[in-house]
Amino acid sequence: MIYNFLLNIISKYYLIDENIYLLELLKTCSFSDIFFEKVEILATNLVNENRKNMELDSITNILNEYNLSTREGIQMMCLAESLLRIPDFYACSSFIKDKISFQEWQYYYKSDYWKIIIYNMIIDFVADFFYENDSFIDEDFLIFCFKKIIFFFSNYIMKNIGKKFVYAKTANSAIKKALSDKSFYSFDMLGEAALTFYDARKFFNQYQLAISNIKKTFLGAKRYKIPTISIKLSALHPKYSFYNRKRILRDLIPMLKLLIVDIKLANSFLTIDAEECDRMELSLQIFNIVFYSGYCLYWNGFGIVVQAYSKRALPAIYWLNKIAYMRQTKIAIRLVKGAYWDYEIKHVQTLNLNLYPVYTKKFCTDLSYLLCTVYLLSKICCNNVLPQFATHNIQTIAFTMILGKNKHYEFQKLYGMGNDVYYTLNNLYNIKCREYAPIGAYRELLPYLVRRLLENGANSSFVNKVVNKNINLQNLVESPLFCKDSKYNKIIPTPNDIFGGRRTPIFFYNLNISFHYYNFYKKILYFDCKIWFANSCSSKKKIKMISKNPSNKYDILGITHHDTNISFAMNILKKSFNYWRLISIDKRVSIMKKFIVLLQKNFIELIVLCCKEAGKTILDSISDIKEAIDFCKYYTNQANEICNRFQLPSYTGENNIYIIEGKGIIATISPWNFPVAIFCGQTISALITGNVVLAKPAESTSLIAYRLFQLLYKAGIPLSVCQIIIGKGSNLGNMISFHKDIYGVIFTGSNKVANSINKNLLMRDNRPIHKLIAETGGLNAMIADSSTLVEQLVVDILESSFKSCGQRCSALRILYINEEIYYETIKILLSSLCNLKIGDPLDITTDIGPIITKQNLNNLKKYINSINKEKYYYIQKKYDKGNFLNPTVIRVNGIKDLKTEQFGPILHIVLYKNEQINHIIKEINKIEFGLTFGIHTRNESFYKYLSNKLNIGNIYINRNTIGAIVGMQPFGGCNLSGTGPKAGGPNYINSLINEKTVTINTTAQGGNVELLNE
């Protein structure tokens, strides 16, 4: 594997600037005017012939009429994505009505307009009749009739849309069908990434069965007529990611070799399909190992898909060409535009990377495709690769035909798309193409179908443009090489501009990219054996304590010195308040900016500390520190705007000045589960507004807090302005809340402790009215109706309930599942739990870390043991070294069965029926906890109804219930879950300031000089 080093070079192109990159690539391309004239003539001829002979079927007409620039087109896509898999009539009827009501359908088909009105009236009438008179009618008969009416318009169209893009339901029927077809195919088993090992085995068996049937059916056929097989590697393993590569390579390589042995016997090709950008390097690494094995030597049937929208497309093709040359074995390279563009954009924005790994403008992708085509058809590649161009774009086809004259290559297209284009091509030039033909039942079709609808319905799609005869012919055949537009898409903000330039997100690593991964781990090793110390300046009398790793009781992290009183710190802060209050906001902002820089410089050390002391996984630790930096930037920006002196309107001879000042001494009591984010958020918000701070971090994470204070002091915060006290909350908490000089407390923790603090503050005699900001967690619920996509639901459940070992105040505690999808959801959920790895948080492959303390662990075990064994499920695995607890699922009747919050990886589940929705809402509101709530549904009216009825601080729809972003999703609950204001919201720092108005009578000083000078 001589060219392994090139894989590292490919990695460095992950976030390259597309403007500079494309400009440099264009310098290497030079074509004559005659060449472009030939391309234009050929493209024009193909477009004219295509439009002349075009025959649009009914499905194509629908897709063209209801395009995605209209709300009707989007609603139709939603129907196609969800309708046929909704199992119960209640959700189904509600969903259809939700999608077709209030749209401008009459604009399209006036003849159908009255049908739709009558259809809506029938839905309303039958639904009202059923719910008002359900005791007097035959429910089964009504359901039967209702379904017939509901599905009359919808199901027929949606099923036919599916048939247009899917070749067959099973591999066996597809192969038999292909035998009689004149076309030739590349088969793909529909389905997204495997969630469980059961799914992975199912896909592997499908691939083996398909290859076996091809061997039997096409025995003795010419090789180009034999269908080929495309495989999706993420469908063969539920943990398919770069940082799990050791396990992936161990499990997947033997499976691939088995498939290669079978495909060689069938005299066919095997192609590794494209994945998301994060998985690209892992796919290339697997391809590399298998290709260099003896199974592929001198066999030209092993191929791979390259996506032109990726900035790493051309470097990847260069590498593939090199290894093919070294092995003297050809590689089939299928060049496609790319299928996950919208996902890639959002994913990079959530990672806070500085650029995108994909091109942001369609014409840049077209340009990249042409540049890759130039390289694939060059003399350098002619003996090493078998180019396969998957495109429906006539301009691209014409470019390839002129450039590839007398060269061997193959065109490919998606089944159900570009039929007229390739029919014209076959008639005029006798050029056939291979069709990429998906196989699968409707359930597996959904994600694929959505992508096809997007391609057909989007205004920028060539398939859409060529059908529209109103579009100028010159625009269709113009080469991207001549496009003068700016390369970057101004509509899509760069990750750095998400907040309008007011707050630049912190750039860190994407650990699925090898270049980032190896750089990260080099720095991690530096802190592997470091010992930390924590010792406040608050008092002379200390209690020495040893800090241990919750994931390994034998790992000593450092020594902390616990304080026994707060008097010394309070005296210092009291004397320093006037000094800090008068410091200009510019000076305070300057200090905070230095602190932010220090947080970034010490990012790696803080990650190691979070993993070792707080038991957080690497990914959770990264999120924690990023959130801390976001808090610092957000509150600093806010304070910079409001903490100034303002001139107010005044009468002549009078001057009114409005001044913002701090309150006094603010005590911050932060938890151990977010030892960086919440600690920094509380402390910085108080300091930046002119208060002095007494910080009491959680006893379990004192080393992290002390390291943060060292950075604060280094940034320029005076020691006398911000004091840290270390020790047990039960001892120091009462001292803080009873102290007469405390003007406010910011607290995150349990409701019980928050009430205790509040009572203590109230008991102080003749003291100012205190300010308490408390965020206290709660019994967070999620409800999933039958329209939800179960696979997405399970992924969100796993993240909401078990990420951070369930030790988040926002974690999901109880899940309501509709009876129609209950057993399917439970089956996939319990299978997915087996995939979770519990162990050392510093191991990037670990999914769940330890419980923070032994006492917390014992309390959780005691709770689980109190439950009837028939009502819960957990993985049977024991751990010796750390405070580990297996994820546990418990069956309950409702939220009223939960007396207290269990702060760990414990999920309660409830089966519910549609008619119980209002009762569930009342139960959830009755317990008076209101922090987070999740809703999974495809029905817009359903989630709006729930959102309006529930008294909850943060409601999340069709996603997990954790990971609120500062400034985007201000976080905080109501009632028993918190006092407000929301952290990371626009009103937070307003509660930490005093307002002062100064009115000056200028006439008493001799009059208004400015007026007299007029």
Chain segment 217-258, per-residue pLDDT in tens: 998 888 888 999 999 999 999 999 998 999 999 999 999 999
- Which of 740, 765, 790 is the endpoint of a domain? 765
In the chain, % of residues over pLDDT 70: 82
pLDDT of residue 339: 81
What does the alpha-carbon distance between residue 700 and residue 672 come to, in Å, rounded to a whole number?
A: 6
The pair of structure tokens assigned to 344 is 């890639």
**pLDDT value of position 118:** 47
Check residues 239 and 477 and name the one with the higher pLDDT. Answer: 239
CA distance 240 to 232: 11
Answer whether residue 270 is part of any domain: yes
Assigned domain for 993 exists: no
Residues 788 and 751 in one domain: no
- For residue 792, the domain's CATH number is 3.40.309.10
**Residue 421 and residue 467 share a domain:** yes
Residue 1011 resides in a domain:
no
Give a yes or no: residue 786 inside a domain. Answer: yes
| Dihedral in degrees, nearest 10, Cα atoms 276, 280, 286, 288 | 150
The reply to whether 504 falls in a domain is no
743 and 786 fall within a common domain: no
Into how many domains does the chain fold?
4
pLDDT value, residue 32:
82
**CB–CB of 466/394 below 8 Å?**
yes
CA 924/CA 915 separation, integer angstroms: 16
- What residues are annotated to the active site? 775, 809
Residue 753 half-sphere exposure, CB side, CA atoms within 13 Å? Answer: 22
| Per-residue CA distances from 793 to 42, 96, 931, 1007 (Å) | 49, 21, 20, 72
pLDDT at 689 (0 to 100)? 96
* 615 and 682 fall within a common domain: yes
Write down the pLDDT at residue 1013: 56
Task: Answer yes or no: do 725 and 805 share one domain.
Answer: no
Q: What is the pLDDT of residue 153?
A: 55
Matching residue, tokens 């102290």:
739
* 443/540 same-domain check: no
Last residue of a domain, one of 719, 741, 765: 765
Same domain as 544, residue 558: yes
Between 97-101, 412-416, 617-621, 731-735, the lowest mean confidence (pLDDT) is in 97-101
Q: Which of 80-94, 738-752, 849-863 has the lowest mean pLDDT?
A: 80-94
First to last CA, the chain: 87
Answer yes or no: do 371 and 411 share one domain: yes
Residue-wise pLDDT tens digits, 131-174: 555 555 555 665 556 555 555 555 666 666 667 778 888 889 99
Judge whether 467 and 64 are in contact, CB under 8 Å: yes
645 CB neighbour count, 10 Å cutoff: 11
d(CA 512, CA 353): 13
Residue 1010 lies in a domain: no
pLDDT digits (tens, 9 = 90+) for 48-94: 887 777 665 555 555 555 555 555 555 555 655 555 566 665 666 66
Same-domain pairing of 797 and 946:
yes
In-domain check, residue 489:
no
How far apart CA 128 and CA 133 sit, in angstroms, is 8
Q: Residue 61 has what pLDDT?
A: 55
Helix (H, G, I), strand (E, B) or coil at 891: strand
* pLDDT at residue 17 greater than cutoff 50: yes
Model confidence, pTM: 0.89
Write down which residue in 163, 181, 214 finishes a domain: 163
Which pLDDT does position 106 carry in this prediction? 43
d(CA 364, CA 20): 12
How do strand 385-390 and strand 410-414 relate by DSSP bridges? parallel
Beta carbons of 527 and 605 less than 8 angstroms apart: yes
Would you tell me how many other CB atoms lie within 10 Å of the CB of residue 972? 25
Cα–Cα distance, 863 to 908 (Å, whole number): 12
In the structure, what pLDDT confidence band is assigned to residue 116 with cuts at 50, 70 and 90? very low
Rg of the Cα atoms in the chain: 32
Question: Domain check: are 321 and 436 in the same one?
Answer: yes
More confident residue, 871 or 638: 638
CATH number, domain containing residue 709: 3.40.605.10
Query: Above 70 in pLDDT, residue 763?
Result: yes
Alpha carbons 447 and 141: distance in angstroms, whole number: 34
- Non-local (6+) Cβ contacts of 422 within 8 A are 411, 413, 431, 432, 433
864 token code pair? 């689980």
User: Distance between CA 230 and CA 235 in Å, rounded?
Assistant: 12
Specify if 63 maps to a domain.
Answer: no
Distance CA 851, CA 937 (A): 32
**Parent domain of 623:** 514-642+662-765
* Percent of the residues in the chain that have a pLDDT greater than 90, as a whole number: 58
Average pLDDT, whole number, for the chain?
Answer: 85
- Do 817 and 944 lie in a common domain? yes
The closest of 769, 797, 576 to 687, measured between CA atoms, is 576
Q: Which of residues 457 and 676 earns the better pLDDT score?
A: 676
Least reliable range by pLDDT among 13-27, 327-341, 863-877: 863-877
Of 867, 846, 865, 964, the C-alpha closest to 909 is 867
Quickly state the pLDDT bin for 878 (edges 50, 70, 90): confident
CA distance 647 to 641: 14
Q: Which of 418, 426, 414 is nearest to 182 (CA)?
A: 426
Instruction: Specify the DSSP class assigned to residue 978.
Output: B
Report pLDDT for 72. 55
Does one domain contain both 718 and 615?
yes
